[in-house]
A and B are shown apart, each in its own frame.
Chain A
C-alpha cells in the first residue's frame, strides 16, 4: 500500500467452474491455499503489487469470475475493461480444456473494441498422475491463439508467481512500445502516480520521486 506504482493493470481470470481460479488468485494475493473454497458468486476482486523491475511496480487488479454458466451475464461485463487475462483449465479435466476455445470466442465478442492479452494456464499440475491433458497439446493450442502456456499449482505454489508476473511483463512491454495505450473510458491500463512527471513509458527512477517531495 505504501508503494507507488507505475501502472495499474486489470486482469481477468476465466475458465470452467472448479478449475481452481479463485484458489490460484488467493495463492497469488494472499500467499496461501484455502482448504475450503465456495463457488464464486458473480465476480470477486483482488489486488496485488508486482515489481517487474527494481523500483518499477505494477498494481494488478484481479477480477475473479464465476465459472458457472448462470453468472455468465455478470462476468461478461468485465471483459471490456481488462487488459490481460488468465484462461484456466484443469489438467485433470479434459472437458475444461476443450472449453478453452469457447472461452476465447466469448471474450472476443465481449472485449470489442479492445484486446486482452491472454495466457493459457494448465492448473492443478500437482495432480500429475491424474493428468488428462498433455503439456504438448496444451502448448499447441496456446500457440495457435498466440498465447503463452504455463502449468501451475495453487496447492503446491508452483509457477503461481510466474504466471502472473510473466503476463504482467508481457503487457508492460506492449504498453512501453505503445501497442497498448491508456484510453479515456477504459480501465484496462491506468497510469500510476508519479509526482510531477509527465511520464510516457519512459524510465521513472525512484530517486526522481524522492527529491520532488
Chain B
C-alpha cells in the first residue's frame, strides 16, 4: 500500500497543472479589475468588470474544490495508530477521490509524506491526464521563466513575452480548452505581475502556491540536477534532504561559475541554509521521527477503552493539524505592521513554552523597515526626480531592482528559517520542557493559527517587495523586471510550503505529548 512509484507522482503533478489552472487562472483574472486603467484604454474597464463578474461566478461554482494549500491528506501515511487499518482507508480514499479536482491539494512541497494520498488518487485520475501535457510543460518553461538563475537568456525572454501575449488573448477570447486555460493561467500570472500596486496578485497564497508548484514541475523537467534529486526520492526522503540536495547542487554550480556572484547572493537555498534553516529543519525532522516511533510503540501497548479514548483524542489533534486553512482575505492584509508581532507573540505565549519568537519578530520588523525606507525613498525621488535628473549615480542609498530582489529573497529565506527554528524549539520544549498545564490540543490549535499567520506574513511581505520592485523599476523593461518579481513570489510560495511542512512535523510531537499525559493521568488515578 505504501509503495508508490515515481511515475504516478509525475503524472499527478502534471495533471495538477491543468486542473489547477482552471481554478487559479480564473481567480487571477479577477485581479485585473482592481487595476482598471493599467495598460489599457478607457473602454477596457467595462470589459474587465464583466470578466471579473464572470470569474466570480466561476469561482463560486468551483467552491467545492478544496483549497490548493490545504494539506494533502488529513491522514498522513506516517500516522501510526491507524496503521493497522491502512488498506481500508486506502480504499476509502480511492472511493472518495474519483473527482479529479479533489486531489489538486497535493502541493509539490509535500514529497516527504505523500505516499498514500498519491497512490489512491493516482489510480483514479491517471486516466484524466490528457494530451498536450508536454506542450503545457514547454509553455510553462518559457512563460514562467524563473526556475533557476542559470538559464534565461534575454532571447528566451522575448519569445516568452510574445507567447504570453498570444495566450493572453486566447484567454480573453473565451478559449476554454484545457490547453488554452493552462496557457491562460501562465499568462495571467505574468499579466498580474506586470501590473503595479498592492493588488498584484489578489489570489495571494493561492497564486503563490500555484506559481511554486508550476515552477517546481518546470524545474524538475528542465533541470537535470533536480531531475536527479527527484529520481532519488522515495517515501523515506524528507523535505530537508530534498532541500539540502538542491542547495548542494547550487553550491556546486555557483562554485563552478564564479562570475555569477550576484546569483549566489540571491539564491534562496543557500541563504536558507546560511540562516540555519536546514539544520533546524533536520533537527525538527529528527524529533518528529523519534516521536512517531514512540507513538507507535505506546499505542501498541494500549488496548480496550484506553485505546478507543486515545484514538478519539488523537483524531481531534489531527483535525487541528489539517484545518490550517489560510484565508487570504483582503481586510486581513490591511492590518498595521505591529499586528504581526503582537499576534505571533500572543499565539506563542499560548503554547506555554519557555522561549519567545524574538528572533523572528526582530527579523521581520527589520524587513518591513527596509521596505518602508526604500519605498519612501523612491517616492521622494519620483516627486523630485524630474528636477534633479540626471540622477546622481553616487547616491549610495539608491536601491536598484537587483538590490531589492536580493534583499527580498534573503528576507524570505531568513523569515522562513526563523519560523522553522521556532517550530524546532517548540518541539524540543514540548518534548523535554517543564510540564505545563496545557493540553496538546490547545497547543495544536495555537500552532495551527501560527502557521496561518506566518504564511500570510510571507505572502504580504512578498507583495510589498513586488510593489517596491515595480515602483523602483518603473523604467525597467518588463523582461528585466518580471523575472525578479516572479522570483520573489516563487520563493514566497516555497517559503509558505516549508513552513507548512515544518508545522506538519509537529504533529507526532504533540501526539506523543498527548499520549504521555494520558498515561500519566491514568497512572496517577
Q: Return A113 CB to nearest CB of chain B, in Å.
A: 20
Given contacts A2-B264, A41-B355, A45-B279, contact A71 B428 (CB under 8 A): yes
* Interface contact A43-B255, CB-CB below 8 Å: no
Q: Say whether B1 faces chain A, with CB atoms less than 8 Å apart.
A: no
Nearest B residue to A1 by beta-carbon distance?
B274
The residues of B that contact A196 with a CB separation of less than 8 Å are: 256
The residues of B that contact A210 with a CB separation of less than 8 Å are: 258
Contact among A38, A70, A195 with B355 in the assembled complex (CB-CB below 8 Å) = A38
* Interface contact A42-B252, CB-CB below 8 Å: no
Q: Size band of the A side of the interface? A: 20 to 34
Given contacts A1-B264, A73-B432, A74-B287, contact A42 B424 (CB under 8 A): yes
Q: Say whether A186 faces chain B, with CB atoms less than 8 Å apart.
A: no
* Interface contact A193-B425, CB-CB below 8 Å: no
* Whole-angstrom CA separation of A19 from B93 in the bound complex: 54
Q: Return A55 CB to nearest CB of chain B, in Å.
A: 14
Contact among A44, A45, A194 with B255 in the assembled complex (CB-CB below 8 Å) = A194
The residues of A that contact B279 with a CB separation of less than 8 Å are: 45, 61
B 255-287 binary contact with A (CB < 8 Å = 1; else 0): 111110100110000100010100110010011
Q: Return B52 CB to nearest CB of chain A, in Å.
A: 45
Nearest A residue to B252 by beta-carbon distance?
A193
Nearest B residue to A71 by beta-carbon distance?
B432
Q: Say whether A176 faces chain B, with CB atoms less than 8 Å apart.
A: no
* Interface contact A213-B276, CB-CB below 8 Å: no
Q: Say whether B429 faces chain A, with CB atoms less than 8 Å apart.
A: yes
Q: Say whether A77 faces chain B, with CB atoms less than 8 Å apart.
A: yes
Q: Return B76 CB to nearest CB of chain A, in Å.
A: 23
Q: Say whether B381 faces chain A, with CB atoms less than 8 Å apart.
A: no
Q: Return A79 CB to nearest CB of chain B, in Å.
A: 13
* Whole-angstrom CA separation of A1 from B280 in the bound complex: 19
Within 8 A of A (CB), among B411-453: 424-425, 428-429, 431-433
Within 8 A of A (CB), among B293-343: none
Q: Say whether A180 faces chain B, with CB atoms less than 8 Å apart.
A: no
* Whole-angstrom CA separation of A193 from B253 in the bound complex: 9
Within 8 A of B (CB), among A2-22: 2, 4
The residues of A that contact B425 with a CB separation of less than 8 Å are: 41-42
* Interface contact A77-B286, CB-CB below 8 Å: yes
The residues of B that contact A213 with a CB separation of less than 8 Å are: 256-259
Q: Say whether B251 faces chain A, with CB atoms less than 8 Å apart.
A: yes
* Whole-angstrom CA separation of A2 from B276 in the bound complex: 17
Q: Return A210 CB to nearest CB of chain B, in Å.
A: 7
* Whole-angstrom CA separation of A92 from B27 in the bound complex: 65
* Whole-angstrom CA separation of A112 from B369 in the bound complex: 49
Q: Return A136 CB to nearest CB of chain B, in Å.
A: 38
* Interface contact B258-A41, CB-CB below 8 Å: no
Q: Say whether A165 faces chain B, with CB atoms less than 8 Å apart.
A: no
Contact among B255, B429, B432 with A193 in the assembled complex (CB-CB below 8 Å) = B255
The residues of A that contact B252 with a CB separation of less than 8 Å are: 193, 195
The residues of B that contact A73 with a CB separation of less than 8 Å are: 432
The residues of A that contact B274 with a CB separation of less than 8 Å are: 1, 47
Nearest B residue to A195 by beta-carbon distance?
B256
* Whole-angstrom CA separation of A71 from B395 in the bound complex: 51
Contact among B255, B259, B270, B431 with A195 in the assembled complex (CB-CB below 8 Å) = B255
Given contacts A74-B287, A193-B252, contact A45 B259 (CB under 8 A): no
* Whole-angstrom CA separation of A43 from B282 in the bound complex: 11
Q: Return B232 CB to nearest CB of chain A, in Å.
A: 14
Q: Say whether A46 faces chain B, with CB atoms less than 8 Å apart.
A: yes
Q: Say whether A209 faces chain B, with CB atoms less than 8 Å apart.
A: yes
The residues of B that contact A47 with a CB separation of less than 8 Å are: 274, 276
Contact among A45, A71, A193 with B251 in the assembled complex (CB-CB below 8 Å) = A193
The residues of B that contact A77 with a CB separation of less than 8 Å are: 286
* Whole-angstrom CA separation of A70 from B287 in the bound complex: 14
* Interface contact A45-B276, CB-CB below 8 Å: yes
Within 8 A of A (CB), among B218-263: 251-252, 255-259, 261
Q: Return A180 CB to nearest CB of chain B, in Å.
A: 21
Q: Return B345 CB to nearest CB of chain A, in Å.
A: 16
The residues of B that contact A1 with a CB separation of less than 8 Å are: 264-265, 270, 274
* Whole-angstrom CA separation of A51 from B270 in the bound complex: 20
The residues of A that contact B264 with a CB separation of less than 8 Å are: 1-2
* Whole-angstrom CA separation of A41 from B284 in the bound complex: 12
Contact among B255, B256, B428 with A41 in the assembled complex (CB-CB below 8 Å) = B428
Contact among B255, B429, B431 with A4 in the assembled complex (CB-CB below 8 Å) = B255
Q: Return B256 CB to nearest CB of chain A, in Å.
A: 5
Q: Return A2 CB to nearest CB of chain B, in Å.
A: 6
The residues of A that contact B265 with a CB separation of less than 8 Å are: 1
Q: Return A211 CB to nearest CB of chain B, in Å.
A: 11
Nearest A residue to B434 by beta-carbon distance?
A70
* Whole-angstrom CA separation of A193 from B433 in the bound complex: 40
Q: Interface of B with A (CB < 8 Å)?
A: 251-252, 255-259, 261, 264-265, 270, 274, 276, 279-280, 283, 286-287, 354-355, 424-425, 428-429, 431-433
Q: Could you name 17 residue pairs across A and B whose Cβ atoms are closer than 8 Å? A: A41-B429, A41-B433, A42-B425, A42-B429, A44-B276, A45-B276, A45-B279, A47-B276, A61-B279, A71-B432, A73-B432, A74-B283, A74-B431, A193-B255, A195-B256, A196-B256, A209-B258
List 12 extra interface pairs beyond A2-B261, A71-B428, A213-B256, CB under 8 A. Answer: A1-B270, A38-B355, A41-B425, A42-B424, A43-B283, A43-B428, A45-B279, A61-B279, A70-B432, A74-B432, A195-B256, A209-B255
